Amino acid sequence: MTMPIGPSFIALQVRDLAASAQFYKNVFGFEIEVQSSPGAIIFKTKPIALALREPLRPLPEVGALGVGMVFVDSL
């Protein structure tokens, strides 16, 4: 049986891509690796890639946190 070792890619869906990208650049010092499309940014983070993207569907204005998170498992 294969045991997963953890996520290899994390994508956070955000309401304001530009403001969120500025936050991660200013607060954490992350550099943008790729602006993969008009609606997504991938940062130069190792060993786990971190991306911000516009939501695939509208995010609720209120409610539980973490609704827009996507974790990809590495096997």
* Spatial contact of 34 and 42, defined as CB atoms under 8 Å apart: yes
Question: Percentage of the chain with pLDDT > 90?
Answer: 32
For 13, counting Cβ atoms within 10 Å of its Cβ (0-12 exposed, 13-18 middle, 19+ buried), the class is buried
Name which residue leads in pLDDT, 25 or 64.
25
The string of pLDDT tens digits covering residues 32-41 is: 987 667 889 9
**What pLDDT score does 6 carry?**
75
Tokens standing for residue 23: 């936050």
Using the predicted structure, report yes or no on whether residue 42 has a pLDDT greater than 90: yes
- The mean pLDDT of the chain is 80
The residue extents of the domains of the chain are 7-58+68-74
Contacts of 55 (CB under 8 A, 6+ apart): 13, 14, 15, 68
pLDDT for residue 73 is more than 80: no
Looking at domain 7-58+68-74, its CATH class is alpha beta
Q: What is the mean pLDDT of residues 54-74?
A: 67
CA distance 20 to 39: 12
